[in-house]
Amino acid sequence: MDSKKLELATLITGSIAILLAIYFGFIAASALSSSKIINYIFALAFFVFIAYNYIKSTEYEKIKKQLIDEISELNNRIESLTADLNKKTAEIENLNADLSDRDKKIAEVENENKKLQQKVENLEEKIQELSKRIDNPTV
């Protein structure tokens, strides 16, 4: 039964019980069994109240269990994502370290290249100087 329908049925039953109790308590008070009828009406209303309470508490327990399961799933997902994040962070740190090493190697190679270019220029100057001496032996 739908929760709203159950609440409406409980409210209607309670209202009818109160109206019947008032009727048999004050209006039909002359009947000998009116107090007995009032007791039955209150017992019935109380039974409806207890049944309603039991049904609602069972429904709330189901909802509570569902929410606890959802929380557990979310916590597991958070743990999984945290582990993935830590793994990716470690990979990024390794890649940054590799990049730094490669940058150092590039800088070393560039420095070596500059030194070699300087040596080539020096050798070219010596070659030109020696060529001039060969062409001009007097100098």
What tens digit of pLDDT does each residue of 24-64 get?
Answer: 766 666 655 667 777 777 788 788 888 888 888 888 899 99
Looking at the chain, which runs of residues are DSSP E strands? none
pTM of the model: 0.53
- Delimit the domains of the chain by residue range: 3-135
Residue percentage of the chain with pLDDT more than 70? 89
Residue written as token pair 């007097």:
138
In contact, 24 and 41? CB cutoff 8 Å: yes
